[in-house]
Structure 1
Amino acid sequence: MNKVIGIIIFSFIFLGCKEKNTDKNKPDLKTEFNQELADELERMVEIDQIVASNAFPPEKYSHLTQEKWELFKDSVYLKNQKRAKEILDEFGFVGFNLAGENGSRNFWLIAQHSDHNPEFQKEVLVEMKKEVDKQNAISTNYGLLVDRVNLNTGKAQVYGTQVTYNMNNGQAYPKKLADSLNVNKRRKSIGLEPIEEYLNGMTEMHFEMNKENYLKKGITKPILYETN
């Protein structure tokens, strides 16, 4: 359940992340916009979101057993990742200039959900950093992928974006995190809000999704961190 909640949360977060361009670091406008690629990425993410947001088969897939649903989910992630690898090899990381902000975000999301292949995720990070430095990709999403890759390869997070929950009270807290005292400086450098605000948002969402269970425990509202 926590894994599903985490996926939903990250899907929610990326919708609100936007990157500002400066005159000095504008994307290369010579790159021709690829509408066909943008449309393909949109279709890939549509099915990604169906499997990422449902622990059990939704109505459209109600004919599948739970075991077959899990196999279907794995097949979607694998198929999307293989296609994304082909795109990466041809174009590098998909930036705003190639497929628009939505297309760039969609490509990132597919990489974010390719946990079965952290080596591919690391390849994406290298290419994504180049585009982030040109303000041609979303820096906050780069931070999310950095943390995802670090955890997938046994390292500590840098930005604290990957969370889990205290199931006794529902409060979110970051998974393994390096240098927690300076995490807000690192978060600010890529445009993320202070970690206390972030964790409170995750806590509130988790509480609402599991409200009935927490009410049974006598917890009537989310337990939040103090913020400045």
Structure 2
Amino acid sequence: MKKTIMLTFTSILLLNCRDNKNISEQEKKQIISELNNIKILDQKYAGIPPADLKEKYGPRKAWEIFMKQRDSVALLNQGKIKSLYQKYGYLGYKQVGEIASGDFCIVIKHADNDLEFQQHMLEALKKEIEKGNADKANYAMLEDRVNVNLNKPQRFGSQVIYNGDGQAIPK
């Protein structure tokens, strides 16, 4: 247990020391492509189960299957985002452009299983906004997400859940 806490603390310290690295044009193209692929996969599992899954298994079983797939995809994507962050720092507008920067942030918002990561990235995002290098809307959504995960009220009301009928309701 102490080892895990120490590793987590060390990781956070290392992440806090990360500055944005200069990125070559070739790296930028590769990163943007990777972020786009990550976003596409993330968004496939961000909403509700597809109709064909519901038809094949029924609504309840479809949700069960879908949630397992979503968890697996989320962990895979988080690993990729953390790796990119460790290598390049926060990927804001100046590093990868507005669209890819948003793609970078999507996975962070969906990293509900790693609240420490979300909190750390919320602080990193705040610093990037102060530099004019990130979107304030992403900050609002991530702040709400962190607050929901801490059982605190949302400030902006951006987070919803879906009921069994696929209707969005505020968390």
TM-score by length of 2: 0.69
Q: Equivalent of 1:45, from 36, 39, 44?
A: 39
Q: What is the aligned partner in structure 2 of residue 84 from structure 1?
A: 81
Q: What is the aligned partner in structure 2 of residue 140 from structure 1?
A: 137
CA distance in 1, matches of 2:67, 2:78: 17
Contact 2:23 2:88 in 1 (8 A): no
CA distance in 1, matches of 2:74, 2:168: 29
The 5 Å alignment of 1:194-209 reads: none
* Percentage of matched positions with identical amino acids: 34
CA distance in 2, matches of 1:94, 1:58: 36
SS at match of 1:157: coil
Equivalent AA in structure 2 for residue 115 of structure 1: D
Count of matched residue pairs: 139
Q: Answer yes or no: is 1:105 the counterpart of 2:102.
A: yes
Shift of 1:164: 6.7
CA distance in 1, matches of 2:168, 2:32: 38
Contact 1:128 1:137 in 2 (8 A): yes
Q: Answer yes or no: is 1:36 the counterpart of 2:30.
A: yes
Of structures 1 and 2, the one with the larger relative CO (CA 8 A, separation 6+) is 2
CA distance in 1, matches of 2:68, 2:161: 25
Shift of 1:121: 0.8
- Higher-Rg member (1/2): 1
Equivalent AA in structure 2 for residue 127 of structure 1: A
Unaligned runs of 5+ in 2: 1-19
Bigger fraction of residues in helix: 2
Unaligned runs of 5+ in 1: 1-27, 176-228
TM-score by length of 1: 0.53
Q: What is the aligned partner in structure 2 of residue 130 from structure 1?
A: 127
CA distance in 2, matches of 1:78, 1:157: 25
- After the TM superposition, which of the residue ranges 154-163 and 143-152 deviates more from structure 2? 154-163
For residues 86-118 of structure 1, the C-alpha deviation after alignment (integer angstroms, 9 at most, x for no partner) is 112222221011111111000111111111211
SS at match of 1:52: coil
